Chain A
Amino acid sequence: MKPATLRPFLPRPAIRRRGLIHRNYAVQAPGNPTLQVFDRHAKYLQKERAAANVERSRQVDYLKDEVALRLTERLLDINRTFNHVLDLGANACNIARAVTLPDPDIDPSKPTSPPLSSRIAHLTAADSSRAMLYRDADLPFNQEINLTREVLDDEERLPFEGNTFDAVLSSLSMHWINDLPSVLAQINHVLKPDAPFMAAMFGGDTLFELRTSLQLADQERRGGVSPHVSPLADVRDMGGLLQKAGFKMLTVDVDDIIVDFPDTFALMQDLQAMGESNAVLGREAGPIKKDVLLANEGIYRELHGNEDGTIPATFRMIYMIGWKEGPNQSQPLPRGSGQINIKDILGGGEVK
């Protein structure tokens, strides 16, 4: 027996609308992420505010400069000249500064190589924070490279045409992006075929010391926790994400930078001056309570502190390289097709 149906009693339009629903697939509209983690506007304000204090902001550039250097070093391995390079999320153009440094090759046995900027015809530095982007616009390194600054409305929507860039770099900015899959796909779109994308971002265990001690302090002082340190992408996730965005020949690796600070307040002040303070949606309004800060200082030092009285802060960098698919691109060999035992080359597992 047929189950009872309301269909004959429904007005006509309702029936027709149902038919329409059946024909549609569930598609996620581009640029409309289902999951919002970060408050992008708060992040913008933090960066603007941080860059407003130029001197202090330059003082805390040690991390961004170092990572930009380590990232651009990888450009040395690509034997090419780049016509047009995009630096996405440029902060204070740290990448531009890094590529203008003389002799980027750290190996002293090799002959000195010219600065990387000699191989980059045009660098576009894009960031949503105007104050941060133009902070160092009158420094001498600007003359050594053909640099264009571009203020983006939103780093999650790239305003560039497809097939524009010969390389896209991004240093310490992608950890604030909500919809990473979409941004990676857009990057892949703006790259020319067979062009590399290289990025460095904070990952997984970054600031785990601060995360854990603030959690304990929150828990003991107030009986609950609230997010103080961002959730971050894991190394394993990045490979999958890059692959999903259509990148080929992926390389993902990690690198820990551990910075010692005199106390937790110095660490938090530096993070703030970098424009890297908390911007997680659902964070508490206002500053952290004094009681929690006080408790945090004691716990951090006890749980993670160094013997000499300083406290370590770990920054785990994820470096990734992916290539846009192109004709005549070298392909990885199929799994299991290797003919040479790598142990024979490296010498029986002995590290020399």
Chain B
Amino acid sequence: MPSRTRPIEKFAQAVAKCSTEASLYGKCIVADYNSVHKDQCLTEFLRLKRCYMAAAKKT
């Protein structure tokens, strides 16, 4: 393995800390996945993203 951590790995680690938010967002999409439109689950997504940003800062 290369010694430095790839950006995608850091990303994955940060996202892994937000499983609750990710699951809520996923549920919102899956609830009605036949007619998904832009920003349908914006609030859930922003919550997920905020969590990710916080987690990414810590590491």
- Chain A residues packing against B (C-beta within 8 Å): 53, 55-56, 216-217, 219-223, 263, 265-266, 268-269, 290-291, 293-295, 297-303
Known: A294-B52, A301-B22, A301-B26. A220 touches B15 (CB 8 A): no
Known: A56-B1, A263-B16, A265-B8. A299 touches B30 (CB 8 A): yes
Q: Which of A53, A56, A290, A298 contacts B25 (CB 8 A)?
A: A298
How many interface residues does B have (CB within 8 Å)? 30
For the complex formed, measure the closest distance between the CB of A186 and the CB atoms of chain B, giving whole angstroms.
39
For the complex formed, measure the closest distance between the CB of A300 and the CB atoms of chain B, giving whole angstroms.
8
Known: A222-B38, A223-B38. A298 touches B48 (CB 8 A): yes
Find chain B residues with CB under 8 A from A53 CB: 2
Q: Which of A220, A265, A298, A302 contacts B40 (CB 8 A)?
A: A220
Find chain A residues with CB under 8 A from B15 CB: 263, 265, 294, 297
Find chain B residues with CB under 8 A from A299 CB: 25-26, 29-30
Which B29-49 residues have a C-beta within 8 angstroms of A? 29-30, 33, 36-41, 45, 48-49
Q: Which of B2, B9, B22 contacts A297 (CB 8 A)?
A: B22
Q: Which of A56, A217, A223, A291 contacts B49 (CB 8 A)?
A: A291
- Output the residue of B9, B23, B33, B39 with the most chain A CB within 10 A: B33
CA distance A282 to B18 in the complex (A): 33
Find chain B residues with CB under 8 A from A294 CB: 15, 22, 45, 48-49, 52
Find chain B residues with CB under 8 A from A221 CB: 38, 45
B29 contacts A301, CB within 8 Å?
Answer: no
